[in-house]
A = this chain, B = another copy of it.
């Protein structure tokens, strides 16, 4: 058994680490010659549009998945012609376009912020009036980690936002003054078996996920999120891990976006759940029974952005698990993450603080 992964970044790297024990080998394809999956999984360096490289890649693998939704849809179609691609082309098509995605959520009665497609400057003014300000102007495609978006607080910002983004396909979204952000990681296999991880509470800073805590124990919200996720999974006949990010506002979950892949807010599951999101994604796409998603303790996951915290002091903190991605440091770059697993509330709070202090100490 061999899985082909479109993309060779840290998600591919962690998928590979989960694959080997299942007897699954890996092969990635990525245009970046420094793709960090490299020492763990072989990587073909090629553009996703390079059909020669793609067919070389496809010859070696049984099932194909992707670690990013920024895969050209033509590449996905090419793969799906000859191979089982999971999640599907249709899922990818929806997930890589914010307008498609929100329209899809609406069609399933999943609440979203109010939104409007923008193609001309006049539409932007009109939409700003309809939705009210503040609002967020976003490119519909290729946005991640806060890129390709701008908060519009007052009418004067509108023309600035327009001139910055006018060459892109755009969407204006009403700003939700949310209390906090949560995500739900779910997984479905071809047999229709579905598992949900406990809800995760996330903290973003400057559009980048900074930390996650799980489980967020809130039975009503859990139920609500699962209901929405189930609609998506079943509607798309989904196979693999799906992450949905929600705003929590006035006791309601409002869907922000979905990611048809393993997700940063699920990294805590490596040690914090009985089966990690990476293993369950592989189990799903290889049509194997899914593993338990139950939490094994309380987890705090801190992203390491721009630099790794000192490993010596980090490993001295009880319950800490260190995950370096083997990437060159660069500002705003995700270089690794640290997970704390602890069951006792006092120790959890104390050690969480030690991790934060240690990460700021460099």
Contact: B291 with A315, CB < 8 Å?
Answer: yes
A312 CB-CB contact with B under 8 Å: yes
Question: Distance (Å) between the CB of A34 and the closest chain B CB?
Answer: 14
Instruction: Say yes or no: A319-B288 contact (C-beta < 8 A), given A23-B324, A40-B20, A324-B22.
Output: no
Q: Using a CB-CB cutoff of 8 Å, which residues 17-32 of chain A contact chain B?
A: 17, 20-23, 25-26
Query: For the complex, is A321 an interface residue (Cβ under 8 Å from B)?
Result: yes
A58 shortest CB reach to chain B, Å: 19
Known: A288-B312, A289-B312, A311-B288. A21 touches B319 (CB 8 A): no
- Across the interface, do B326 and A25 meet the contact criterion of CB distance under 8 Å? yes
B23 near A13: Cβ-Cβ < 8 Å: no
CB distance from A105 to the nearest CB of B (A): 32
Chain B nearest CB: distance from A27 CB in Å? 10
Known A291-B315, A296-B296; contact A341-B20, beta-carbon cutoff 8 A: no
Q: Within the oligomer, what is the number of copies of this chain?
A: 2
Interface centre among A17, A21, A323 (most CB of B within 10 A): A21
Q: Is A322 an interface residue (CB 8 A)?
A: yes
* Cα(A321)–Cα(B23), bound, Å: 12
Q: How far is the CA of A308 from the CA of B21 in the complex (A)?
A: 12
**Minimum CB–CB distance for A234 against chain B, Å:** 22
Cβ contacts A278-314/B at 8 Å (1 or 0 each) = 0000010000110110001000000000001001100
How distant is the Cα of A137 from the Cα of B308 in the complex, in angstroms?
Answer: 54
Q: CA of A341 to CA of B17 in the docked complex: distance in angstroms?
A: 20
Complex alpha-carbon distance, A97 and B146, angstroms: 61
Contact of A316 with B289 in the complex, beta carbons under 8 Å? yes
Which residues does chain B contribute within 8 Å of A331, judged by CB atoms? none
Interface check A336, CB cutoff 8 A: yes
Chain B min CB distance to A137 (Å): 38
Min C-beta distance of A89 to chain B, whole Å: 27
A113-137 interface code vs B (CB 8 A; 1 in, 0 out): 0000000000000000000000000
Given the complex of chains A and B, what is the CA–CA distance between A25 and B20 in angstroms? 16
Residue of B21, B22, B289, B323 touching A21 (CB-CB under 8 A): B323
A321 touches B40 (CB 8 A): no
Complex partner residue of A22 from B20, B25, B288, B322, CB under 8 angstroms: B322
A41: nearest chain-B partner, CB-CB: B39
Contact of A25 among B23, B39, B315 (CB under 8 A): B39
Pull 29 A–B residue pairs with CB atoms less than 8 Å apart, ordered by A: A13-B20, A17-B21, A20-B39, A20-B324, A20-B326, A21-B321, A21-B322, A21-B323, A21-B324, A22-B322, A22-B324, A23-B308, A23-B311, A23-B322, A23-B326, A25-B39, A26-B39, A40-B40, A274-B319, A274-B341, A283-B315, A288-B311, A289-B312, A289-B315, A289-B316, A291-B315, A291-B320, A292-B318, A292-B319
Given pairs A20-B324, A21-B322, A274-B341, 18 additional interface contacts (CB within 8 A): A17-B17, A17-B21, A21-B321, A21-B324, A22-B311, A22-B322, A23-B326, A23-B336, A26-B39, A40-B40, A288-B311, A288-B312, A288-B315, A289-B312, A289-B315, A292-B318, A292-B319, A296-B296
